[in-house]
Amino acid sequence: MSKVPENAPQHCPGTASENAGKVSACAGCPNQNLCASGAASAPDPAIEIIKNRLANVKHKILIISGKGGVGKSTVTSLLGHALAAKNPDINVGILDADICGPSQPRVLGVRGEQVHNSGSGWSPVYVTDNLSVMSIGFLLGSPDDAVIWRGPKKNGMIKQFLSEVDWGDLDYLLIDTPPGTSDEHLSSVQYLSGAGLAGAVAVTTPQEVALLDVRKQLSFCATAGVPVLGLIENMALYICPNCKSQSEIFPATTGGVAQLSAELGAPVLGSLPLDPAAGARLRHWHHTRAP
Amino acid sequence: MLEDVKQILLVLSGKGGVGKSTVSTQLALTLKVRGYKVGLLDIDLCGPSVPYLLNLESQSVHQGPDGWVPVYLDNEQRLGVMSIGFLLSSRNDAVVWRGPKKTSMIKQFLEDVYWQDLDYLIIDTPPGTSDEHITVMENLRHVPQCSAILVTTPQAVAIEDVRKEITFCKKTGISIFGIIENMSGYVCPECSECTNIFSSGGGKSLSEIARVPFLGSIPIDPRVGMLAGQGKAAVSELPNCTTSKMFDELVRKLSKSPTNGNSETSANEDL
């Protein structure tokens, strides 16, 4: 990954390159000496800090999908709940890496909670005794507040989330990502390179327009060396609450997840129906336990 | 390059998967069917959907004497399309770029594409309020004929992200033409019971809170879904469905809008 700063001179070889500070383009650049000394090509010190911070987190799993609105956040929250409910001794953390559209506070029913800062770092918000969550949503003053940030600022936020949140001992850290293959994804993978990622779970819906983006995301995983643990198909079948008949709202015209799994060799971990009753129950559950 | 474009429409939504690209393509196709000359620019660099939706995936962009020549859907060149999808060698190729690279690509799309005279330029955006959006806003800030159409689905988790997008539009000073609510209601093919899968009315109440016009709601219609990948307009294939009526109505509203260069003469007559 070449690192060319935004304000670098033309033909900058990249700060981590062997030629950094040594080619003609570097003449006159204020960082020439720094680059030539080799300090810039050393690994980011944050990687080591994050490794130490997450030393007590056993499995770090990314929840990905190139496509938006396929249910990454819903799957992340349900998976978190399922892991935490199965065994009270298992501790689960959810990190919402979607900086521009954080959904975890809502899907977990903890909107309006505050994050506290203590000597050991930021304390995440606890949904149940063994399920904690951290999201930029907790840091915004109003639900209308937009986070209008370019990449470097988003990367800084993710770095802070990974290095400064006091998760305690966790068995699972689920990282919910935004759609796309850009800053948030590159940064998460890069910063966790020391701490070690268990892998990624990809969520998709059955129609081709979603699969198209998911394939791109999976080739990103292959390039970045992130193992794909499996695929989850969401919104596969629609169950009519009136007549209980099933229909395909987003038809898998190109073979759907089964085909993708065969192409890729990653297992299909499950298929979730589009069940309005489930959505309603979740909303009701949040209402009954809202403060 | 954009001074010859009479009106620029940004299709925005904070949330992904709500149907921005479907709305963009169907709006472009409807405008084309109604006789306008249309350009469609896809600035979703990490997940370009427009080439697939319009069945243009194998096409490529050419360099002409005046700039990049967009890919045309028809021989009369009434609908031109530009997307990063045309520049990738394989449809599985990922564009793994950080912000600065995305920014310069979008700048090129805005400056170097030779659209010729257009009545409408529709810009399809990725979800979020980040690099792509900031770049487009910065470059279009001084273009007066530019406005935004917001797409949402009715459920709270989508509305929440779209509220952020409204704040973004207000902060950057772009006028909001209106809100479209997509996926509102699904009619069961077995029992004809209409279920509001993603709840209902969210778009309408959002438009009231944010004081922006509500442009209409589109139900989940598998017949319209089947048009994806064919490049066919709902208004000509399914003239009687709710979706077609909504798009026809939207085109009528657009042609009457004061920001449209076309209506300048009629506005003067009113005086």
Q: What's residue A287's pLDDT?
A: 62
**Residue in A101, A150, A213 closest to B164 by CB:** A101
State residue B44's pLDDT score.
96
Q: Is the CB of B94 less than 8 angstroms away from the CB of A216?
A: yes
Chain B residues closer than 8 Å to A143 by CB: 160, 163
Q: Predicted confidence band at A11 (pLDDT cuts at 50, 70, 90)?
A: confident
CB contacts of B161 in chain A (<8 Å) are: 100-101, 103
**What's the mean per-residue pLDDT of chain B?**
91
Q: Is the pLDDT of residue B262 over 60?
A: no
Question: Could you give the percent of chain A with pLDDT greater than 70?
Answer: 96
Phi first, then psi: give them for residue A57, nearest 5 degrees.
-105, 120
Taking only the tens place, the pLDDT of each residue in A209-226 is: 999 999 999 999 999 999
pLDDT exceeds cutoff 80 at A290: no
Instruction: Give the count of alpha carbons within 13 A of B71, CB side only.
Output: 22
Out of A41-45, B19-23, B218-222, the most confident range is B19-23
Q: How far is B250 from chain A (nearest CA, A)?
A: 24
- Least Cα distance to B46 among B13, B88, B10 occurs for B88
Catalogue the long-range contacts made by B134-139 (C-beta closer than 8 Å, 24 or more residues apart): B134/A148, B134/A150, B134/B172, B135/B102, B135/B103, B135/B106, B135/B107, B136/B10, B136/B43, B136/B106, B136/B110, B137/B172, B137/B174, B139/B106, B139/B107, B139/B110, B139/B111
B83 in contact with A at a CB cutoff of 8 Å? no
Between CA B190 and CA B193 the distance in angstroms is 8
Q: How confident is the model at residue B99 (pLDDT cuts 50, 70, 90)?
A: very high
Nearest to A101 among B15, B47, B95 (CB): B15
Name the 3-class secondary structure at A185.
Answer: helix
- Coil, helix or strand at residue A81: helix
- CB-CB contact of A168 with A53 (8 Å): no
Angle between helices B131-140 and B156-172 (to 10 degrees): 40
Nearest residue of chain A to residue B206 (CA atoms): A144
CB contact under 8 Å between B47 and A216, yes or no, is yes
DSSP A233-258: E-S--EE-TTT--EE-SS--TT-HHH
Q: Do A215 and B160 touch (CB under 8 A)?
A: no
Q: Is B193 on the interface with A (CB under 8 A)?
A: yes
Candidate from A87-91, A131-135, A264-268 with smallest mean pLDDT: A264-268
pLDDT at A288: 63
Q: Which residues of A touch B198 (CB under 8 A)?
A: 279
- At A35, is the pLDDT very low, low, confident or very high (cuts 50, 70, 90)? confident
> Residue B9 — very low, low, confident or very high, per pLDDT cuts 50/70/90?
very high
**Domains of chain A by range and CATH?**
1-42 (no CATH), 46-289 (3.40.50.300)
CB contact under 8 A, B46 and A6: no
| Structural domains of chain B ordered from first start | 2-261 (3.40.50.300)
CB of B195 less than 8 A from some CB of A:
yes
